[in-house]
Amino acid sequence: MKRHQVQEIIYTDEAKKLLNNMQSIDMTYERLFYDYLLKRGMEPTSASYVNMLLLLVAVLLAVSVIDFILNKIFRMISGRIAKRTKTKMDNFFVDHKVPSSLAHVIPLILLFETLPIIFYDFDYLDTLAQKTLMILGVLLVITVIRKLLMSLRDYLRTLQRLQDKPLDSYIQVVMIFVWILGILTIFAIITDTTIWKFFTALGAASAVLLLIFRDTILGLVASIQVSINDMVRIGDWIAFEKYGADGSVIEITLATVKVQNWDMTITTIPTYALISDSFKNWRGMQNSGGRRIKRAMHVSQKSIRFLTPQDMNSISKIPIIREFLDSLESLETFAQNIANDPMNDLALNGPINIGLFRKYIQGYLESNSKINQEMTLMVRVLEPTTQGVPVEVYAFSASKKWEEYETLMADIFDHLIAVLPFFYLEIFELPTSLK
């Protein structure tokens, strides 16, 4: 016999002895309490059940202690790393307890490896326990993925360019696919089959699934369109009359958009409504140089007339309109033209009070520092109505804040109403008999 053949026989014998020793150790662990219970007079069947229960309790206690210790270690190490690093990402991992979730992985693996020892005499329980732990493992993976995505979302919100993006919608889309894959994996574990067979079965049940997840699918499509077309961002002021929403967008999710109205109430709008219905987004105004003022005051038609020289003398004392009057003929020439006019009793070639009032408003707005002079600024007379002649102010405030905007608009029209009698004009009011 050759030398290497002798060595192989020696190594084989040593391997067999080692295997026998390991099996005897396993048998010792698997029947740790069994022999003792038999010596105490217990029946073999009862001793097997009691031995299994005692092993299960002992392993669960040991795994619980290991899980507790690892949880403490992971949290301590991750907390110290988060404090020393400059990035904020690991801080969010700690806040969402990602290390604590990862600490459960090792105890779960240890428990899975000890199942053949615990259920040595009970194959059906061993199979059931293995499937249960595998399902718990799938749920743990889903939990870790969700916490990682939550951490990533909070970190991305710290970036200026992503603060107004619907990050919740993106995360919900990812989590839908994660949950679908997780549920299919769980079914595969329970039924001892492969995931691909479930995908095949889903083809036949697609109509039912479309009906069940109709709102989710519509929300998914709407979220993608809203994001790609940049229709709505978090922080936008939108007005949606159909749903009674008028305020700032505070949250965009896969299914709903939350709007905090100016009365501090919350309106919830389906996400797909943003692409199926019409709404107003005030972002353009917020990004512009001012906020539009578009309001009219109604002047009584009976008070509109030509001005006499005496009226012009009185109006010429108003500082804002004096420059405009200086560009016209002198008052003496104006009075002479009226005297030489054969129709001077009607004074048809004189200035009209509403025209001068319109010029006064224009000058008043141009001298107001709270009006944005770089944007459209005009005063116009609209079509006469049964409620008088509308004189409309069309301008933009320099401030876009709601309070300052409303204050400015009120100050402008308070002043115009007060100055109206100086131009011999009156605000239209319904007769008492018609009120």
What residues contact residue 274 under an 8 Å CB cut-off, 6+ apart? 222, 226, 231, 232, 257
The pLDDT of residue 331 is above 60:
no
The arithmetic mean of pLDDT across residues 371-383, rounded, is 91
What residues contact residue 330 under an 8 Å CB cut-off, 6+ apart? none
Q: pLDDT band at residue 198, thresholds of 50, 70 and 90?
A: low
Residues 62-104: tens digit of each pLDDT: 888 888 888 888 888 877 777 777 777 777 777 778 888 888 8
What mean pLDDT, rounded, does the chain reach? 78
Residues 157-173: tens digit of each pLDDT: 787 777 666 677 778 77
CB 369 within 8 A of CB 398: yes
List alpha helices for 119-213, DSSP H.
123-157, 167-191, 195-204, 206-212
The pLDDT of residue 288 is above 60:
yes
pTM of the predicted model as reported, rounded to 2 decimal places: 0.50
Q: pLDDT band at residue 200, thresholds of 50, 70 and 90?
A: low
Give the pLDDT score at 26.
44
Residues 128-148: tens digit of each pLDDT: 888 888 888 888 888 888 888
Q: Is 246 helix (H, G, I), strand (E, B) or coil?
A: strand
Give φ, ψ of 245 to 5 degrees. -100, 130
The arithmetic mean of pLDDT across residues 317-346, rounded, is 61
Long-range CB contact pairs, 262-270, < 8 A, 24+? 262/402, 267/240, 267/243, 269/240, 269/243, 269/245, 270/215, 270/218, 270/219, 270/222
Q: pLDDT band at residue 224, thresholds of 50, 70 and 90?
A: confident
Cα–Cα distance, 27 to 186 (Å, whole number): 32
Q: pLDDT band at residue 197, thresholds of 50, 70 and 90?
A: low
Give the pLDDT score at 15.
46
Tokens of residue 19, six digits: 């295997």
Cα–Cα distance, 278 to 416 (Å, whole number): 36
pLDDT above 90 covers what percent of the chain? 16
Task: List domains and CATH numbers for the chain.
Answer: 31-163 (no CATH), 165-170+189-284 (2.30.30.60), 291-434 (3.30.70.100)
Q: pLDDT band at residue 346, thresholds of 50, 70 and 90?
A: very low
pLDDT above 70 covers what percent of the chain? 76
Give the pLDDT score at 9.
43
DSSP state letter for 420: G
Residues 241-264: tens digit of each pLDDT: 888 899 999 888 777 889 999 888
Cα–Cα distance, 386 to 63 (Å, whole number): 87
